[in-house]
Amino acid sequence: MESQFYWVGMADVPQWLVTTPVPVSGGEFDEPWMFGEGRLLPDPGPIKAQVAHPGEKRAFVFSVIEKVPIVSEAVANVFRTLAPDDIQLFPVTVEGESERYFIVNATKVVDCIDEANCREVHHYTEEDPFPEYAGEYRWIYGMRIDPSKTEGVRVFRPKRFKTAFIVSEEIKDALERVGSLGVSFERVTDPYTRGGQDGQRA
């Protein structure tokens, strides 16, 4: 039986909103989107983030602009234990919080999108305002991947659609055991079933 995988997204639950992380020394990173690129990064040094909107603290959230995965130590331990070769963890200080938080940087990109089984796909074209993205996916509804192409990777971003943060079922289950998450899980394996319920909250 092939592994199941899930697209981790921001859940529609009460939660605090955290800003895109920045250097403690001041200013912004030259590439504030680098934590969503699916590549190994050099140590960025001390990092901080602010609470953009107070709310219920969650163990796993995405920053409000660049969608950087920010997690509690308990969630970081799930990634550290189950996918040590697929991620980097960078400590981030959240303003006003004594608890330790971490950025989860998925370092693997996998060419695995099964376009024929996705419900609906939209591509960038050369006529778009960003011609450098031509051929990549603008957005995918009912995304499906081919798990046979993941080759043992448990956390990754899909090639040509790095917006998506994908985890294996084993990691999803472990995250749900931590609880108090601000994310949802949408299954991206098996053929898309119109009218089916793929999304899960945690």
Instruction: Give the model confidence (pLDDT) of 102-113 as tens digits.
Output: 999 999 999 999
Mean pLDDT, all residues of the chain: 91
d(CA 184, CA 79): 17
Per-residue pLDDT tens listing for the chain (202 residues):
568 999 999 999 999 999 999 999 999 999 999 999 999 999 999 999 999 999 999 999 999 999 999 999 999 999 999 999 999 999 999 999 999 999 999 999 999 999 999 999 998 877 767 767 777 898 999 999 999 999 999 999 999 999 999 999 999 999 999 999 999 999 999 865 544 445 554 5
Please name the helix (run of DSSP H) or strand (run of DSSP E) that holds residue 39, with its range, or none.
none
| Dihedral angle over CA of 30, 35, 37, 39, nearest 10 | 100
111: CB partners within 8 A, 6+ apart = 149, 158, 159, 160
98: CB partners within 8 A, 6+ apart = none
Interval 152-194: pLDDT, tens: 999 999 999 999 999 999 999 999 999 999 999 999 998 655 4
